[in-house]
Chain A
Amino acid sequence: MNAIEFKNVVKTYPEFTLGPINLAVKKGEFFGIFGPPSTGKTSILKLILGLLEPDEGQITLMDKDASELEVAERDISMVFQNLALFPHMTGRENVIFPLKERGASEADISQQLDFVSEVLHISHILHKNPSQMSGGERQRIALGRAFAADSRAMLLDEPIAALDARLREEMRVELKRLQRENNQTFVYVSHDEEEVMAISDRVAVIIGGNIAQIGTPDDVYSRPNSLAVAEVIGTPPMNLFKGRFSSDGMFFEAENLNARIPILGETKRGGNATLGIRPEDIWLESDENSATFDLKISTVEPLGGYTILNALLGDQIVKIRAPGQVHIEGGSDQKVAFDQRRIHLFDDEGARL
């Protein structure tokens, strides 16, 4: 069953139109929504929650028409980016608020409180007022309150953006575990691509108010269906070369590429196109089966587990991600090969070929 379904949903703002959006979130799914800032991600959550009404189209929640459901009847919790905690209540009172509202028994309340405090590491801050907490602590209390409500679906808007890196990694795993154990439906919005890709079962990439692609993280990463998606998924981003197919359609050529790249499969003869290659798919050696280039390494970023090399190919900056620790100096010349099997091609309109 689908927990949430959008059919041709449109929301119009004076300077911006969201949609038409079509998507279906399955029950028990961890569904990520990713997109650059101000592309309509939060509006989608507000439409699900009922804080906004669609101008066109239909939203269905657990097979019921959402327009006939009051906000309270939807049984959905939301954690906002600007967490709305009750300032006059302690952490504990904030967390158990939804349970009290619902008239849960003392035993239930204390059990639920113990459970969320352990998962979110908040036992030591439950006695504090929000004004005495750090941003990260407030964020966790807000999450705790949403979890305590134990609703059917949870909507999370950049819920861990305010936390520092280590805690964020830890919380990511805890959120995922919690979601799976409770078999809840999660819709998770973030502009942090790595986070969404790591945590979600499926991801919707939103660009300019429209869904550009929906798929598993593996799909979206390995087969971005458009240039726009290729540009925003992956850190460092995919290297892109504007160029064209040769007139016989056998090669791709570009000003900045000092060798032609043989193309297998269907091409547009003589047509303009963009070739993409991810930083990890460029090898620091020549390869007889792949196009090989000479480039100049400008700077080297050693990250321990891998190394990022910034290089110049023609006048274009190229990023290479090499496994492990490589010992190459900035300023040196280097032969590299593009992994022939991992070349992405996009046509003049930006659609994947």
Chain B
Amino acid sequence: MSSIQISNVTKRFGDFTAVDDLSLEIEEGEFVALLGPSGCGKTTTMNMIAGLEEATEGSILFDGQDLSRTRIQDRNIGFVFQNYAIFTHLSVYKNLSYGLEVKKFAKDDIKRRVHAMADRMSISHRLEQPAASLSVNEMQKLAIGRSAIMEPRIFLLDEPLSNLDAGFRAYMRAELKVLQHEFGQTMIYVTHDQIEAMSLADKIAIIDQGKLMQYGSPLDIYNSPNNRFVANFVGSPRMNLIDGELREEENQLKLMVQGGAEIILQGQVKSDFTSDGKVHSGSFGIRPQDIYFGERRASNDIAMKGTVEILERVGPKRLAYLQVLETKFLAFDDQDQLKLGDEVPFFLPPGKSMAFDMISGHRLGSV
């Protein structure tokens, strides 16, 4: 187990800056997800933690120690990659015992640990079979088990679930979380899947174009994204983000959207938009589940009207695409009574709406 301090780390490949002045504190025993779109620099960051890449600038300390002179194999770091590196010609048992044998563990100790891990991963019945005979799902369990058996002080996982089918992915997600609780290891998990990051991690670092956009607990990030990128990236279905020009008219502040739609701002979100004393372009955000239909519930809820263009079944609910001129709002059909083509009123509660600056992307007002 180990804490990690990443301070002002930059990584350049020629002219290209993959990681740009990134700082992160990871506490001992924490499960941290590095989340971002492909090419954002999350894998490069992980590779620097692992020692596979060297930082161009900045430092990475483990429990306050600089390990850059320590050989990778002596750092006691466990890896699980997307393409699980399994010895397919060896038995499942041999795959699990390999690392322990290299480290010269006692025979009985190895046997005990292999059986315990195989049990844990429900692959005991496969121990004597060649790894090549395993299903994709079992292969993944083996890959994780093989690293976990070494009880490394830091466990690095690079998109370990991306090759799995949806059902098994959900199962492994729960399993990984239990594993981490049991071992108490520091885990760093690279993913582009925000659902995985939200469900697994104690903290999420969201990275875009090499820069850290936000670092916090999943719900902090979900409830108060501090910029437009994070707001758009986290949450499924995605947050409605409506871009437009702010305009003052007849004592009202309106967001005028291209194509003619307008949002008459009220309450909290209105003061958020004007918190910097300027009237400029802005982006209005609201999550689909915060939009409602039927009777207006509070006097300053913002009233809109739209046409139901598409209804999708998303898990237990139906998601409606409401067309307001050229603007689309996503909302859950909370009363299960929308029909395609209907023109319906809907409401945006200002307290659940968010204001972003269009140019900088920063969140405006109260956060």
Q: Which residues of A contact B (CB under 8 A)?
A: 36-37, 164-166, 169, 172-173, 176-177, 191-194, 197-199, 217-218, 221, 232, 234-237, 278, 280, 298-299, 301-305, 308, 310, 317, 319, 321, 325, 330
**B219 within 8 Å of A by Cβ?**
yes
- Cα A237 to Cα B173 in complex, Å, equals 14
Q: Is the CB of B235 within 8 A of A235?
A: no
Specify which of B223, B232, B238, B319 is in contact with A198 (CB 8 Å cutoff): B319
- Cα A43 to Cα B356 in complex, Å, equals 49
Specify which of A169, A191, A237, A302 is in contact with B218 (CB 8 Å cutoff): A302
Q: Is the CB of B321 within 8 A of A280?
A: no
- Cα A331 to Cα B170 in complex, Å, equals 20
With A304-B223, A304-B234, A325-B219 given, is the CB distance from A235 to B313 under 8 Å?
no
* Minimum CB–CB distance for A77 against chain B, Å: 23
* Minimum CB–CB distance for B53 against chain A, Å: 22
Closest chain A residue to B38, Cβ basis? A164
Closest chain B residue to A305, Cβ basis? B289
Closest chain B residue to A279, Cβ basis? B316
Specify which of A37, A218, A308, A330 is in contact with B313 (CB 8 Å cutoff): A218
Inter-chain contacts of B181 with A (CB < 8 A): 299, 330
With A165-B194, A302-B219, A304-B198 given, is the CB distance from A194 to B315 under 8 Å?
yes
Inter-chain contacts of B198 with A (CB < 8 A): 301-304
- Cα A172 to Cα B289 in complex, Å, equals 20
Inter-chain contacts of B194 with A (CB < 8 A): 165
Q: Is the CB of A177 within 8 A of B310?
A: yes
Chain A to chain B contacts (Cβ below 8 Å), 13 pairs: A36-B165, A165-B236, A173-B321, A177-B310, A234-B315, A235-B167, A236-B167, A299-B174, A301-B177, A303-B218, A308-B199, A310-B174, A330-B181
* Minimum CB–CB distance for A295 against chain B, Å: 15
- Cα A232 to Cα B170 in complex, Å, equals 13
Q: Is the CB of B177 within 8 A of A198?
A: no
Closest chain B residue to A308, Cβ basis? B199
Inter-chain contacts of A172 with B (CB < 8 A): 312
Map CB proximity to A onto B273-303 as digits: 1 under 8 Å, 0 otherwise.
Answer: 0000000000000011100000000000000
**B98 within 8 Å of A by Cβ?**
no
Closest chain B residue to A220, Cβ basis? B313
* Minimum CB–CB distance for B41 against chain A, Å: 16
Task: Identify 13 new A-B residue pairs, CB closer than 8 A, beyond the known A198-B313, A301-B200, A317-B174.
Answer: A164-B38, A166-B238, A169-B236, A173-B321, A177-B310, A194-B166, A199-B312, A235-B167, A301-B174, A301-B198, A302-B222, A305-B287, A308-B199
* Minimum CB–CB distance for B208 against chain A, Å: 12
With A164-B37, A234-B315, A302-B198 given, is the CB distance from A193 to B174 under 8 Å?
no
Inter-chain contacts of B236 with A (CB < 8 A): 165, 169, 303, 305
Map CB proximity to A onto B195-218 as digits: 1 under 8 Å, 0 otherwise.
Answer: 100111000000000000000001
* Minimum CB–CB distance for A342 against chain B, Å: 10
Q: Is the CB of B310 within 8 A of A236?
A: no
Interface size on B, residues (CB 8 A): 42
Q: Which 4 A-B pairs have the closest CB atoms?
A: A301-B199, A304-B222, A198-B312, A217-B313
* Minimum CB–CB distance for B134 against chain A, Å: 16
- Cα A330 to Cα B200 in complex, Å, equals 13
Interface residues of B in 75-110 (CB under 8 A from A): none
With A321-B316, A325-B219 given, is the CB distance from A192 to B166 under 8 Å?
yes
**B228 within 8 Å of A by Cβ?**
no
- Cα A169 to Cα B319 in complex, Å, equals 12
- Cα A302 to Cα B217 in complex, Å, equals 10
Closest chain A residue to B198, Cβ basis? A303
Q: Is the CB of B310 within 8 A of A173?
A: yes
With A303-B198, A305-B289, A310-B174 given, is the CB distance from A278 to B316 under 8 Å?
yes
Inter-chain contacts of B174 with A (CB < 8 A): 298-299, 301, 310, 317, 319
Specify which of B166, B192, B195 is in contact with A164 (CB 8 Å cutoff): B192
Inter-chain contacts of B170 with A (CB < 8 A): 235-237, 319
Interface residues of B in 314-331 (CB under 8 A from A): 314-316, 318-319, 321
Inter-chain contacts of B222 with A (CB < 8 A): 302, 304
* Minimum CB–CB distance for B329 against chain A, Å: 13
**B193 within 8 Å of A by Cβ?**
yes
- Cα A302 to Cα B177 in complex, Å, equals 12
With A235-B167, A280-B315 given, is the CB distance from A304 to B219 under 8 Å?
yes
Inter-chain contacts of B321 with A (CB < 8 A): 173
**B132 within 8 Å of A by Cβ?**
no
* Minimum CB–CB distance for B342 against chain A, Å: 16
**B344 within 8 Å of A by Cβ?**
no
- Cα A197 to Cα B313 in complex, Å, equals 6
* Minimum CB–CB distance for B206 against chain A, Å: 13
Inter-chain contacts of B233 with A (CB < 8 A): 166
**B178 within 8 Å of A by Cβ?**
yes
